[in-house]
A and B are shown apart, each in its own frame.
Chain A
């Protein structure tokens, strides 16, 4: 008998995206540019994170018309964002046939304490994380894919680097702990003990972990892959640059051949202006999207 929505099917979908680039798009035209450039999936949004920042106010799930338009335009998978804890937005996106839901801190959270219980859904979820505690809590809630939170819409890679390094470093630390030490580590990090034991045994997370939040250039994508990312999300970076087609293709290639520096040098030539970007110290605490969930 066929079973849908199993862990294997949901996590497996994310495995197929490995080594690839997932691009934020706001309409069918951008979705086609992304697919043409070799994106493995697109994230259908009403506004890219940089514009969400600029607009202020409450950011919600995109208008379903935009999501549908994008789904009809491309044959690669389509993802969409629901607010943290917004069970109904997620159910609506699932009913529409979206391939992956991002329960995302880029949107204004609907629930400041609880995330969605994601294992109740047939559609898989991706969630952001800054450390092993957040990563394991999201996995236990049913996330089938993780990504760094970074600091979305800033074009500044520094936070994504820190979050990827933190998770990797904690996994390495965990491997050296004895079983009794893992219990205390679980308590200190708010992490499920059994899942930590599994990660300690395997030496890696049971789901893929992509880089997201601040990737603006091919070199940024390569950097994240070298730090151990399984793939890359590019939000504002592509369609906020002044040559999106070229930028998109260059980021895809830099992700595939992330350790070929000569090639990345070539790819970076004459790309035009990347998005302007923001320095972290200029953000007020309220502007830090990564702090919107634990």
Chain B
């Protein structure tokens, strides 16, 4: 059985667990480094990226998560999770995990009153996907190996680079589990490859 870990330091991790379980995979809330051994893929949820980063540092998660990804295990970052995966962040902010070749802008659509929901087409994954953007970042630029999956108003809001997946909206807040399913499929594929 495929087990998807959801980083449970802060944020909407229970919603991701619900979404993973709806796809038929097993979900595990990851609060300790040792738990990374028990999972096949990791979701880094939405929350406050500054807060999650402080807790990642506090519990020395940074290197273990990087290693987890480097060994070929898929990682999916949503909203704050996307910021944590990015190799470049606008302004003076420190890069966090930096495993994905994307440049992001934080709070790019504005403050909470500018937060919105809109229907998107996610290439090869879903058409008419109801995406919820909350103080969301967007991707300003991607590397040559990064595939753009969705745009909103001209801005990149979902992308994939090999076994790394990121989106600036919250797929866990609706009952549309197609993007989570796509990630679970990525994890199942990676599992087969890693088993060889």
* CB of A66, distance to nearest CB on chain B (Å): 17
Total number of A-B contacts with CB less than 8 angstroms? 116
B1-32 to A contact mask, C-beta < 8 Å, 1/0? 00000001111111100000000000000010
Q: Which residues of B contact A1 (CB under 8 A)?
A: 118
B173 an interface residue at 8 Å Cβ cutoff? Answer: yes
Q: Which of A32-40, A104-112, A153-161, A193-201 contacts B (4 or more CB under 8 A)?
A: A32-40
Please tell me if the beta carbons of A2 and B118 are within 8 angstroms of each other in the complex: yes
Q: Which residues of A contact B55 (CB under 8 A)?
A: 38, 252-253, 256
Q: Which residues of A contact B (CB under 8 A)?
A: 1-6, 8-10, 12-13, 15-20, 35-41, 75-77, 94, 97, 99-100, 122-124, 252-253, 256-257
Q: Which residues of B contact A124 (CB under 8 A)?
A: 112
Please tell me if the beta carbons of B47 and A40 are within 8 angstroms of each other in the complex: yes
Q: Which residues of B contact A (CB under 8 A)?
A: 8-15, 31, 46-48, 50-51, 54-55, 58, 79-80, 106-107, 111-118, 132-135, 152-153, 170, 173-174
Please tell me if the beta carbons of A75 and B132 are within 8 angstroms of each other in the complex: no
Please tell me if the beta carbons of B46 and A16 are within 8 angstroms of each other in the complex: yes
CB-based nearest B residue for A259: B31
Partner of A5, one of B47, B113, B173: B113
Please tell me if the beta carbons of B113 and A8 are within 8 angstroms of each other in the complex: no
Partner of B134, one of A16, A39, A41, A253: A16
Q: Which residues of B contact A94 (CB under 8 A)?
A: 113
Q: Which residues of B contact A13 (CB under 8 A)?
A: 112, 115, 134-135
Partner of A20, one of B14, B51, B133, B170: B51
Q: How many Å lie between the Cα of A225 and that of B14 in the bound state?
A: 15
Q: How many Å lie between the Cα of A38 and that of B56 in the bound state?
A: 11
* CB of A199, distance to nearest CB on chain B (Å): 17
